[in-house]
Amino acid sequence: MSHYAVISPPLYSHMRALEALAQALIARGHRITFVNQAGAQQLLQDPRIGFCAVGEKSHPPARLQRTLRLMAHPAGPGIIRLINDLASTTDMLCHALPAALTQLGVEGVIVDQMEPAGGLAAESLGLPFVSVACALPVNRDETIPLPVMPFRYAPGERRKKLYRASTQVYDKVMARQNAVIARHACRFGLPARNAMHECLSPLAQISQTLACFDFPRQLPAWFHAVGPLRQPQAIAPVSQSHAERPLIFASLGTLQGHRYRLFRTIARACRRMNVRLLIAHCGGLNARQVEKLIARGAEVTDFADQTAVMRDADVVVTHGGMNTVMDAINSTTPILVIPLAFDQPGVAARVEYHQIGRRVSRFASSARVEKNLRALLADNRYAARLAAMQQPLQEAGGAPRAAQIVELALTSRQPVMAGAL
């Protein structure tokens, strides 16, 4: 039995995915400890998984709520405050992780791509580590746009010039985080590192997405697209009381579920269409807002069994979360993406590129939302293209395959090539 540490941003979707991977590793006989700021412990559910709190002085439990508020409102000046907050967390972890990992006596580290401190600290200690992309991979390729950019993919030098220019802008915006990475790489005596994508594992990189969902691109030979990292889920049937009417399922994830105005726009469109609308706001709305949406004809809940609901849904409206898109592929449910932040523009661009759904702006009118919903309901080619992705999704391997890759990479300390398992 080996003891592995997990380093991740303290975000619900990331922690849930890595917890599923941890459970698969525990099933193989390993011991797992998450190392994070104290507030992140509440995001773990399995008591078999250990937790080591670090940075209690600068990052007490209440600090996480501030980070989550910034994540929920990243537009305008908020994005700079968020980047500064993330840079502060990376700085804290770079100071705290070497001692914590040494004291825990771990033999390897599993690192979310979005937290560069994990890779830097592991490398400074000579520990093998594996990178995991819970969102779109941060690996760079000059022939495609960065995940945070809203650009459609197209080949050609003109497009590459656009992608390069936007990457330069992004790197300037991320200057505070990049400076923290560079400073600690130098302090640890490592080769120069200046950005998140330069802190990835040379042994194995694991992604929740699928090759058939990405743009044409180059990735390392040790990159593994395994599909969703999931815990086993109980399937609950959805009410069929209105089965004669199409069902639209709308969810904006755990961080963006507070966007009442956007839900209202969707509800207005669905009411004119005389379709059934189920909204899952993930606890983001208050009772008055819920009442108003119900008055507009929507069914509203805080959380839904998304896997089960989407089996009956005719269209899913999403912010572009990776989990929701993978669920849509699994259930062949056409997608209307309304990207809000982070890698969601990149997810939306891939949905459009593969023609498995449509994209509208978060500022779109209810009439425009209605137009796109009608188009998705009327064209069965969207579902057919989604169906073509089902087999690759089912064969990707998920958490069990990811656990095998992690085990081999951390045990052998050698690169695990794609297709080796």
- Give the three-class secondary structure for 341: coil
Indicate if the pLDDT at residue 386 is higher than 90. yes
The residue with tokens 């209202």 is 264
CA nearest neighbour of 348 among 378, 372, 314, 325: 325
Same-domain pairing of 45 and 177: yes
Q: Which residue has the higher pLDDT, 88 or 230?
A: 88
Asked if residue 417 is part of any domain, the answer here is no
Digit-coded pLDDT (tens) for 256-267: 888 999 999 999
The average pLDDT across 372-393 equals 95
Which whole-number Å values give the CA distances from 347 to 65, 169, 390, in the listed order? 26, 20, 18
**What is the full DSSP assignment across 164-186?**
HHHHHHHHHHTHHHHHHHHHHHH
Let me know whether 201 and 315 are in one domain.
no
- Tell whether the model's pLDDT for residue 136 goes beyond 50: yes
In a shared domain, residues 72 and 197: yes
- Assign residue 76 a region: left if phi > 0, alpha if psi is -120 to 50, beta otherwise? left
pLDDT at 243: 59
Kindly calculate the radius of gyration of the chain based on its CA atoms and give it in whole angstroms.
Answer: 21
pLDDT of residue 241: 44
Q: Are residues 97 and 154 in the same domain?
A: yes
Q: Are residues 382 and 402 in the same domain?
A: no
pLDDT for res 235 = 39
Query: What pLDDT, on a 0 to 100 scale, did the predictor assign at position 237?
Result: 43
- Dihedral of CA 12/15/20/26: which sign? negative
Identify the pLDDT of residue 373.
98
- CA dist., res. 73 & res. 413, Å (int): 41
Q: Is 87 inside any structural domain?
A: yes
Evaluate whether residue 232 is within a structural domain: no
Kindly state the average pLDDT of the residues 24-35. 98
Separation in Å, CA 176 to CA 70, 146, 172, 181, 380? 16, 18, 9, 9, 47
Question: Tens digit of pLDDT for each residue in 38-82?
Answer: 999 999 999 999 999 999 999 998 888 888 888 888 877 788 899
DSSP 117-142: HHHHHHHHHT--EEEEESSS-----T
Contacts of 175 (CB under 8 A, 6+ apart): none
Do 145 and 98 belong to one domain? yes
> What is the domain count for the chain?
2
Residues 28 and 149 in one domain: yes
Comparing 233-237, 249-253, 353-357, 390-394, the range with the smallest average pLDDT is 233-237
Residue 69 pLDDT: 86
The whole-angstrom separation of Cα 71 and Cα 14 is 13
Same domain, 117 and 211: yes
**C-alpha of 304 from chain center:** 19
Q: Is residue 327 part of a domain?
A: yes
Query: Is residue 305 assigned to a domain?
Result: yes
- Which CATH number belongs to the domain containing residue 202 in this structure? 3.40.50.2000
Count Cβ neighbours within 10 Å for each residue of 126-136 and write b for 16 or more, e otherwise. ebbbbbbbbbb
Which tens digit of pLDDT belongs to each residue from 77-104?
Answer: 788 899 999 999 999 999 999 999 999 9
Query: Does 93 share its domain with 54?
Result: yes
Q: Examine the domain organization and report whether 193 and 254 are in the same domain.
A: no
**pLDDT per residue over 328-356, tens digit each?**
999 999 999 999 988 999 999 999 999 99
Distance from C-alpha of 417 to C-alpha of 409, rounded to nearest angstrom: 10
Q: Please identify which residue in the block is written with the tokens 């000059």.
A: 142
Q: What pLDDT does 219 receive?
A: 96
**Given a cut of 80, is residue 242 above it in pLDDT?**
no
Q: Two tokens at 64?
A: 């996480």
Question: What range does the domain containing 151 cover?
Answer: 3-227+396-412
Q: How far apart are CA 215 and CA 224, in angstroms?
A: 15
Average model confidence (pLDDT) for the chain?
93
Establish how many alpha carbons lie within 13 A of residue 190's alpha carbon, considering only the half-sphere containing its beta carbon.
Answer: 22
The residues pairing with 299 across neighbouring beta strands, listed in sequence order, are 278
Q: Enter the DSSP assignment of 288.
A: H
| pLDDT higher than 80, residue 421 | no
- Mean pLDDT, residues 378-392 taken together: 95
On whether residue 366 sits in a domain, the answer given is yes
Q: Percent of the chain at pLDDT above 90?
A: 85
Question: Tokens representing 101?
Answer: 């990992």
Distance between CA atoms of 366 and 183, rounded to whole angstroms?
48
**Is the separation of the CB atoms in 10 and 67 below 8 Å?**
yes
Quote the pLDDT of residue 231: 63
Residue 238 pLDDT greater than 80, yes or no: no
User: Residues 137-144: what's their mean pLDDT?
Assistant: 96
* pLDDT tens-digit series, residues 290-313: 999 999 999 999 888 888 899 999
Amino acid at 57: K
Comparing 316 with 394, the larger pLDDT belongs to: 316
Summarised one tens digit per residue, pLDDT across range 270-290 is 999 999 999 999 899 999 999
CA distances from 382 to 58, 118, 371, 395 (A): 49, 40, 15, 21
Q: Same domain for 201 and 52?
A: yes
What are 109's two structure tokens?
Answer: 């580290």
In a domain, 420, yes or no: no
Which residue, 304, 265, 297, is CA-closest to 281? 304
Domain check: are 206 and 256 in the same one? no
Three-state DSSP state, 219 = coil
Measured between alpha carbons, how far is 5 from 25 in angstroms, rounded to an integer?
Answer: 11
The secondary structure of residue 63, as a DSSP letter, is H
How far is it between the farthest Cα atoms of the chain? 65
Examine residue 218 and state whether it is found in any structural domain, yes or no: yes
